Amino acid sequence: MEKDCLFCKIAGGEIPSRKVYEDEMSLAFLDINPVNPGHTLIIPKKHFENIYDLNEEIAAHLMKVAKKISIALKKTGVDGINITMNNEKDAGQVIFHSHIHIMPRIKGDNLPMWPGKKLKDEELDEMAKKISSGLART
Q: Site for Zn ion (CB under 5 A): which residue of 45, 47, 61, 68?
A: 47
Q: Site for ligand 5GP (CB under 6 A): which residue of 29, 48, 73, 103?
A: 29
User: Residue 94 or residue 136: which is nearer to ligand 5GP going by CB?
Assistant: 94
> Which of Zn ion, ligand 5GP, none does residue 8 bind to, with CB < 5 to 8 Å depending on kind?
Zn ion
Encoded amino acid at 98, one letter: S
How many CB atoms sit inside 10 A of residue 21's CB?
14
Using CB under 5 A as the binding rule, whether residue 5 contacts Zn ion is answered as: yes
User: Residue 82 or residue 86: which is nearer to ligand 5GP going by CB?
Assistant: 86
Say whether 99 is catalytic.
yes
User: Residue 82 or residue 93: which is nearer to ligand 5GP going by CB?
Assistant: 93
Using CB under 6 A as the binding rule, whether residue 17 contacts ligand 5GP is answered as: yes
Give the Cα separation of 39 and 30 in Å (integer).
6
What is the gyration radius of the CA atoms in the chain, in angstroms? 17
Q: Are strands 80-84 and 26-30 parallel, antiparallel or unpaired?
A: unpaired
CB 57 within 8 A of CB 50: no
Ramachandran assignment for 4, one of left (phi > 0), alpha (psi -120 to 50 degrees), beta (any other): left
Residues belonging to the chain: 138
Using CB under 6 A as the binding rule, whether residue 94 contacts ligand 5GP is answered as: yes
Rounded to 5 degrees, φ, ψ at 53 are -100, -5
* Chain contacts with ligand 5GP (rule: CB under 6 A): 6, 17, 29-33, 41, 86, 92-95
* Chain contacts with Zn ion (rule: CB under 5 A): 2, 5, 7-8, 47, 97
Residues acting as catalytic residues: 99
